[in-house]
Structure 1
Amino acid sequence: MVLLAPLLLCTIWLARLPKRPYVSVILLDEAGQLATPDLLLLMQTAHRAVAKLVLVGEQQQMDASTHGGSLRYLSQRQGCARINTIRRQREAWARTAVNDLRGGNAKAALDSFQGKGLLHIEDDSQTARAQLVKLWQVYTEANPDKESMILAQRLKDVKPLNELVRKVYQNQGKLGTENIMTECVVSNQSLYFAFSTGERVRFTKNDYKRDFTNGVQGTITQVLQLKDDIRYTVRLDSGRTVSFYQSDYSDEQGRLQLVQAYACTIYSSQGATVDGDTFVLYTTAMDRAASYVAGSRHKDNCNWFINGQELDAQSGQRDKGETPTLEARLKTLARCMSINKHKAMASEYIAGQQAEQEATK
């Protein structure tokens, strides 16, 4: 088995299925992304089936978007097996830097990235995005056989990155001229995208009837504007070609469940491995977990792009009228990357409150 990152294995229940000579095992990967109510339902189902449930995940990565923290809590209460060997990154210094991000030692990781020329602090957010796409283009043209990935924390940062990359492809003649503007939805947020032949797209909703899976990517081979609808033909990366009408793959508000896929959120990248370089647009809201996920998807190098004005605002230098220094910016960046914002279970909070009350008696 190839170990891609530190893992945590937690066994929840072990028993034998009635009237069967073998043990039924449920293996749940990326268990930290499962919300606590959903995990509870799965545990109850496994209990009724008299089955063994094994949770596999990385508790230092980003939690479930709602009701998170259950994997870390169970690993502390139930015990777990830990695999700490990292083999995704090819070079030893890169594996050390990933471990530093994981452990909250962001200063050491940043020193490594800076020493390799991978840290780019720009004057503002627009320049940071433009420089990211510029260096991404240089990399992809020089390494046509390598993979790459562009990452940002927020959808509002992902969209302009998508637009910049799309412009590069249009200038290269790799996209058609249809440019059919469509209202789309991802994570219940409305975004408008233009679609043409050759467009890289990602499905954002499971549709079991059509065998569409959330997160699957592909390339549009045909897009037709009809009188009251739009017809898409997409060649999936798996090799399968699918066709559908927008009206058949939309939410209740008619928003298409398909988006451009040139850049993606850090949260959606969890579990991905990029056989090449990654390009990360960093914002100061990215805590230890987000920085660790963003900085560990690559096999070769992770390139960081940061808005210097945002760092200056965090450090207070801009408000004081002081001239920003690289040392102060790196110190602020390291502090933001090291902040632990992991979610806590309600039971942990109650236990903490009770402990405080006991201590004050």
Structure 2
Amino acid sequence: REFARGLADRYGAAVDFAIHSPQRASNIRNHHAHLMMTTRAVTADGLGDKTAIERENKWLLARDIPSSQVQLREIRQSWEQIANEHLARTGLEIRIDHRSHMERGLEIEPSEHMGVHATQMERSGQGVARARVDSETARRNAELIREKPEQVLSIITGEKSVFDRRDVARALHRAIDGAEAFQAAFASVMASPALIELQGERRGPDGRIVEAARYSTHEMVKIERGMVLSAARLSETREHGVAERHVEASLAARPFLSEEQREAVRHLAGGEGISVVVGLAGAGKSTMLSAARDAWERAGYSVHGAALSGKAAEGLEQSSGIASRTLASWEAGWSAGRGELGKGDVFVIDEAGMVSSRQLASFIGAAEKAGAKIVLVGDPEQLQPIQAGAAFRAVAERVGFAELAQVRRQAEPWQRRASQDFARHRTQDGLAAYAERGAVRFSETRDEAIDAIVRDVGRDMRERPESSRLVLAHRRADVRELNAAIREARQSAGELARGEDGGERRFMTNDGERAFVAGDRVIFLENNRDLGVKNGMLGVVSEVAEGRLSARLDDAEGPGRGRAVTVSLAEYAAIDHGYATTIHKSQGATVDRAYVLASEGMDRHLSYVAMTRHREEARLYAGRDQFVDLRELSARLSRSGAKETTLDYAERRGIAAEFGVCSDIEVSREVQGRAPAADEDRAAAARAGGRDEARHDRQAQGQDGEKASEGSQRARPEEDAAAAQRRQALIQEAKLAFYKSQGAAKAREAFQQAEARRAEEAERQRVEAERQQEQQRQEEVDREQASRQRFRGPGPG
């Protein structure tokens, strides 16, 4: 529906769509949709002129309108973005690519699969309704993959920069049937010269695998290496400085900015061709960007904004005054020769932590080519990129950054400290702070935890109706259950009317039938320019009628205090109850109180977002049927879902000098005793914390006499997982502090040192290889002599 509405809005045409579910009587076993669009625009008088996509290119180009081919590409890009956003929202890892296999350089043929049970029936001779549409496709794919295994690797690296053997197996399963063909193709892929092993398999003392081998491709290494080198070159330029008088004038107009925000503005006003700001959740990034925009414009620069999603782009524009569009929109315009950057431009990417390596590399390259300045703003610890890589983190580590670490959203100092814990990988410490104050609440079951949320939210709405609140869950199924339960409780308490006599009306929405009545919370789930609503906006229903719903949007004054909106459900059906929403949809939101349902699929990034949306209070609810106790809850919610880049493994493979980067090992060793003055307290606390945690770990493991590392070496596989995680958090914090203070200059110094180490290591490896070869030759001689002796038998006497 969202895609169809976008077509209708763009071309002024009528778009009809039908969504088909699998039917027993049909051979089609997948959900799919059919769309039909009029070739002429729809006007008040009927059908009008041809739509732009139906015009000849000669007519289009004469009017500076993209050709029909470019328009089709933009439509395909739009579908990719919409589909992938919805896939991510439902917790699915699979992604689509709008490009054809041919455009991607792939020769693998698309195919359809039947289920495992149908396959078993077919092999046993039983009849099945549908087999693979073209069994020859599977055979041809198997042969192709044996000949060109890099085809599968291209598919995998569309989603991940770094992967393991399981990712290879999953990709092969999409293209190949049959155990023998699968095994042959798997062996071919793992032996491909395009594959590079970044880290070998690691085993514990008992021989079990504790860390799988990690791989990438030479192409991804080249992309990510090129990205950081391009960023490094931009960081060396000094052509985009803003005069001090302009910066100070902008700051003087905003006396409410903190010193940290002021320093970030000064950092962005520097002459470098690239600037990075790492801002924790609630640290005031938007307010800071408004001041930076003012300074740039005073100096005569044109400032442009971009973000991955439409909602984020709209949020950037509203909060900072920077005219913004989606990254896909910018790419489509550039491919059509429109809106290209120039030397007088500043290009700001917000929520940059969600952008993939390929895409960010493209934008950094475009800025370098045009001589423009590019600014990256985000938090690498919030929600991760949908596609491959962790580009924002890699670039921030390479060129240095300003940091907004002073959390301003939460009212209580202990909550602000906890927010920093969540941001710094110390999820267990952040949860412990809330648990100590009774804000982590266990019930015997998940269902009872939902009941507890319903009771607490109901009480909050009655006692503080003017306050804002959000109920958050990871899974959409949980969100639907929470919405239904909260609404039912309000109706039972007489706070909402029930039935047609009370004014309740039922509507068919995109997600099925929903009942609404005045006073209901409502959420809008699609962008709509005519209504002025964006995906994720919330409001309070003021009136319902047949086929129509009116609501007042939330704003800074409170729930339902904003602009009035009236929706015709025949034209816009992307609404749902708005008492609860997904954690993904809440990124960037701020409310007075948050109520969070813990679930098994959550990781530290989701926990970070969920537990930092509030100003006054946050509560986390869990069932003991899913999490036995606080220790298990903390361990599960501390898991990393972080995307990786090939740069993370550079030092381990002896190629740090080629990349020009330092590893965690190098940084942690160099930073000891050399923390900048501004960071001495934090570095000391980190070291003290490291000693405390190491001592507790030794006690827990019965190793009191053994001295533990404070982060200068990686955790051994047999170490306790929680201890390893805390150690890695200290390493990462030291690393961020190091790059913040030293930036590109120190990275260059590390580059030179790494080159020297690489030369020494290469010589050592050469000598060791020769020694091993000589040893192998001697062993072969010894074996041959022993074999001959056995064949001859004992000598005479």
1:26-68 Cα distance to aligned partner (Å, 9 max, x none):
3333222345555456556655764322121111111134446
Question: Is residue 308 from structure 1 mapped to residue 629 from structure 2 by the alignment?
Answer: no
What amino acid sits opposite 1:336 in the alignment? R
CA distance in 2, matches of 1:265, 1:342: 19
Q: Return the offset for 1:148.
A: 1.9
Partner of 1:343: 643
Superposition pairs for residues 94-109 of structure 1, below 5 Å?
A: 94-109=415-430
1:330 corresponds, among 630, 640, 644, to 630
Three-state SS of the structure 2 residue aligned to 1:280 is strand
Q: What does residue 76 of structure 1 align with?
A: 397
- The one of 215, 219, 244 equivalent to 2:536 is 215
Q: Which residue of 2 aligns with 1:129?
A: 450
> RMSD across aligned C-alpha pairs, in angstroms?
3.5
Q: What is residue 495 of structure 2 aligned with on the other side?
A: 173
Residue 600 (structure 2) aligns with:
284
216 and 51 in structure 1: CA distance in 2 versus 1, 3 angstrom threshold:
farther
Work out the CA distance in 1 between the residues paired with 2:356 and 2:588.
17
| Alpha-carbon distance change, 233 to 43 in structure 1, aligned in 2, over 3 angstroms | farther
Identity %: 28
CA contact (8 A) 1:3 1:85 kept: no
Residue 258 (structure 1) aligned with residue 580 (structure 2) = no
Contact 1:62 1:290 in 2 (8 A): yes
Give the superposition deviation at 1:289. Answer: 0.9
Tell whether the 8 Å contact from 1:183 to 1:191 is kept in structure 2 after alignment. Answer: yes
Once residues 274 and 648 of structure 2 are traced to their aligned partners in structure 1, the CA distance between those partners, rounded to angstroms, is 29
Higher RCO by CA contacts (8 Å cutoff, separation 6 or greater): 1
Partner of 1:236: 553
Which residue number corresponds to residue 253 of structure 1? none
Unaligned runs of 5+ in 1: 185-189, 250-255, 313-328
> CA-to-partner distance for each residue in 1:283-308, whole Å, 9 max, x for gaps?
13211111111111112221110011
Task: Structure 2: give runs of 5+ residues left out of the alignment.
Answer: 1-256, 276-295, 302-343, 556-561, 656-761, 770-797
Structure-2 residue corresponding to 1:252: none
Of 152-161 and 98-107, more deviation after overlay is shown by 98-107
Structure 2 CA distance, aligned partners of 1:133 and 1:81?
41
Superposed counterparts of 1:113-128, under 5 Å? 113-128=434-449
Greater Cα offset, 279-288 or 39-48: 39-48
Partners of 1:270 and 1:121 in 2: how far apart? 25
Residues 284 and 333, structure 1, Cα contact 8 Å, conserved in 2: no
Letter matched to residue 410 of structure 2:
Q
Assess, with a 3 A threshold, how the Cα gap between structure 1 residues 204 and 13 changes in structure 2: closer, same or farther. farther
What TM-score do the two structures reach when normalised by structure 2? 0.37
- Tell me, in whole angstroms, the C-alpha distance in 2 between the residues paired with 1:4 and 1:62: 24
* Displacement of 1:121: 0.9
Q: Distance in 2 between matches of 1:119 and 1:57?
A: 28
Q: Which of 583, 586, 590 matches 1:273?
A: 590
> How far apart are the structure 2 equivalents of 1:348 and 1:270?
27
Letter of the aligned partner of 1:277 in structure 2? R
Are 1:26 and 2:342 matched, yes or no? no
What is the DSSP-based 3-state SS (H/G/I as helix, E as strand, rest coil) of the residue aligned with 2:615? Answer: coil
- Change beyond 3 A, Cα 1:4–1:60: farther
Change in CA separation of 1:272 and 1:4 when aligned onto 2, cut-off 3 Å = farther
Q: Mean Cα displacement is larger for which, 297-306 or 199-208?
A: 199-208
Q: Give per-residue Cα distances to partners, 1:179-225, cap 9 Å, x unaligned.
A: 414242xxxxx454322333222221122344332222223333333
Over 3 Å counting, the alpha-carbon distance change for 1:244 and 1:334 in structure 2 is closer
Aligned-partner Cα distance in 1 for 2:260–2:495: 36
Partner secondary structure for residue 456 of structure 2: helix
Say which one has the larger Rg: 2
**CA distance, structure 1, for counterparts of residue 393 and residue 408 of structure 2:** 23
Match of 1:324 in 2: none
Flag the 1:178–1:290 CA change in 2: closer, same or farther, 3 A.
Answer: same
Name 1:151's counterpart in structure 2. Answer: 472
CA distance in 2, matches of 1:282, 1:350: 32
**Structure 2 CA distance for aligned equivalents of residues 165 and 3 of structure 1:** 43
Aligned with 1:163: secondary structure? helix
What amino acid is aligned across from residue 574 of structure 2 in structure 1?
A: Q
| CA distances 1:134-170 after superposition (whole Å, capped 9, x unpaired) | 1122233233343222111111111111112212332
Q: Which amino acid aligns with 1:288?
A: R
Whose helix fraction is larger, Structure 1's or Structure 2's? 2
Q: In structure 2, do the counterparts of structure 1 residues 353 and 223 end up closer, same or farther at CA, with 3 Å as the change threshold?
A: farther
Q: Which moved more, 1:115-124 or 1:211-220?
A: 211-220
Q: Which amino acid aligns with 2:550?
A: T
Counterparts of 2:481 and 2:260 in 1: how far apart (Å)?
A: 31
CA 67–182 in structure 1, closer or farther in 2 if over 3 Å, else same: farther
Q: Distance in 2 between matches of 1:114 and 1:73?
A: 34
**Contact residue 355 and residue 385 of structure 2 kept, 8 A:** yes
Opposite residue 406 of structure 2, the aligned amino acid is T
Alignment of 1:193-204 (within 5 A): 193-204=514-525
Mapped to 2, the partners of 1:84 and 1:308 lie a distance apart of: 34
Contact 1:4 1:86 in 2 (8 A): no
CA contact (8 A) 1:231 1:246 kept: yes
Q: Residue 568 of structure 2: which of 245, 250, 266 is its match?
A: 245
Distance 1:337 1:231, change over 3 A: same
The alignment of Structure 1 onto Structure 2 pairs a total of residues equal to 323
CA change 1:352–1:337 in 2 (3 A) is farther
- Structure 2 residue matching 1:301: 3-state secondary structure: strand
> Residues 292-347 of structure 1: CA distance to partner in whole angstroms, max 9, x if unpaired?
111111122211100111114xxxxxxxxxxxxxxxx22211211221111124x4
